[in-house]
Structure 1
Amino acid sequence: MNNHSGAIKIRHTASATERLKQAHTLMGISRTLGGELEELFNHWAKVRITDAELKKLIQIAMAPNKEVLENLAGGKLDLLSTHYTNIVDNVYEYALGSQTQQMETTAGMVFGAYNSVTGYFQNVRSFKNDEAKFKSIMDGTAKQRAQTAFNLCRDFAVRGSEALIYN
């Protein structure tokens, strides 16, 4: 009990009761969301994705703007910047080569596709410092790309490769 790092302190003030009610509500929401995500990720771990579909998903998820998506849709790969193509290649390489990506639940599965994008930002990409990494993951580019990848994986699990149309 001396080292209870998962604890929070609530002062016994007039608003303590209200804060406890809010904390209880938040814990309920977190429990529900955690269960829903677990169910979703377990489903994704059973949905197959080919290497070509994975590459396409990564290209869309990592696209920084509409112009890149338009170039991808038009097959104008020569107009894509070297910086962008290097990022896509790095994410794809992580998806196929990382030890965690070789597990039964990730290799060739939609969950692995999602994990490759989030894992790239957590394990491959270089940041100026830990604070910059944290900001990117919590509220920056990494969060945006992870959300796009999440949406693509969600749609792919339902509609298949039809979800990977550049738009």
Structure 2
Amino acid sequence: MAHNINFNEQTGRHSFFSVQQKAWHGLGQIVEQYPTSEEAIVHAGLDYEVIKSPLFTQGRTMSIGDSGELIEANDILVPNSFATLRTDTNIPLGVVGKDYHIVQNREAFNFFDAIVGGGEGILYETAGALGNGERIFITAKLPDYIRVGNGDDVTEKYIFLTTSHDGSGSITAAFT
């Protein structure tokens, strides 16, 4: 299976980090200490903003100018349609409608901090971006375990958050 981890040509880095373990597919950054969510954004290359820009298409339209001259236009505005763009690379992430609300990566991570409490025992373990950065994620290891049977089968608990900047989904947080 292809990894689909974003590669930022400007920074020369993959948008992924993990703590103390070889990064996914050997890509991304390995850090020794569990970061805060603010540090995780930087380690994973998610410290970019997303904007919504009017969408145009190429075409040929003719109109009469104020002085009566014929004006030819090549760009036609697509009504109620917008492109989402990364401001660091100007790469389009998706096409959305006029009511689409951008949730910046920092806002999503702040929301995640609120969910997990951002307190003692919460360990941010991985974060990254897929595609051109249109889908981002973060995982946090929770401080407790699930013990099955006589207690010999121990499973760590995690919670993850993902969201998209292309209109394909909303913020989702789930246990794993």
Q: TM-score, normalised by structure 1?
A: 0.25
Higher Cα radius of gyration? 2
Q: Which has the higher contact order (CA 8 A, sep 6+)?
A: 1
Higher helix share: 1
